[in-house]
Every structure is written in structure tokens, then in C-alpha cells.
Amino acid sequence: MELISHTINNKTIIEIVSDSFVISELDDALDVLGNAYYLGATGMIIHENNLSPDFFDLSTKIAGEILQKFSTYQMHLAIVGDFNKFKSKSLHDFIYESNKTGKILFVSTLEEAKERIK
């Protein structure tokens, strides 16, 4: 796993880049959150392929647990991916509401993540 640092509006945003690392439980998320916090980041960018498919099944409650930690530690998060492939109406409603608040963003490109994360 590689952590790439981006400076956006004088703030450090950490991007996780890996073909094999997957956040599949709360402890995995806490590890990357801790690393980002240690590096002075105020935000993170995580790609969809770095999240377990269970994250996108809201009935597992994994997304809620993980996103609550990001909120508690006031770490902005942008998740980059193609979310249209998921057929769950509740997930799409959740994504819509998250994008309205701006703390947790679901975006389709890295460029959009960099533009919208604060």
C-alpha cells in the first residue's frame, strides 16, 4: 500500500494507492486513518477497489462503522469509484445524502475528489 500526499488549498490529503490492500473491517480503516492523521492530513481519498464489497452492502453496517470514525476524527473522505453498478436504492440514497453534506464524498474520478474535498 502506498500513501500519496496531495496538497490542496494548503491542506494535506492522503490518497491510498494499492492493487491489493482492502479495507474489510473497522480495524483496517482505523490503521489508515491513524497513518493519515499522523501525516497531518485533514482528508483522505480511497478508491472503491480498496474497500470490501461488504462496505457497499449497508446491511452489514461496515460502512456506518467506518464512516463514523472518519466523522469522529473530523477527517474528510472522498471515495472514488463507479457506484452505478450497485443496484441498492438505500446505498444510492446514502451516497446522495453524503454528497450533500460534503464530509464524506462519493465521486467518479480522482480529479473530482481533489476538486471537491476540503
The residues, ordered by sequence, that sit 6+ positions from 10 with a Cβ below 8 Å of its Cβ are none
Residue 112 to residues 61, 107, 108, 109, 115, Cα–Cα distance (Å) = 27, 6, 7, 5, 5
**Domain hosting residue 78, numbered range:** 2-116
Q: What are the backbone angles phi and psi of residue 71, rounded to the nearest 5°?
A: -65, -45
Say if residue 118's pLDDT is above 80. no
Which CATH number do you get for residue 25? 3.30.750
109 pLDDT more than 90: yes
Q: Domain tally for the chain?
A: 1
Please provide the average confidence, as pLDDT, over all residues in the chain: 95
Distance CA 99, CA 102 (A): 5
Note the pTM of the prediction, 2 decimals.
0.94
What does the alpha-carbon distance between residue 72 and residue 10 come to, in Å, rounded to a whole number?
22
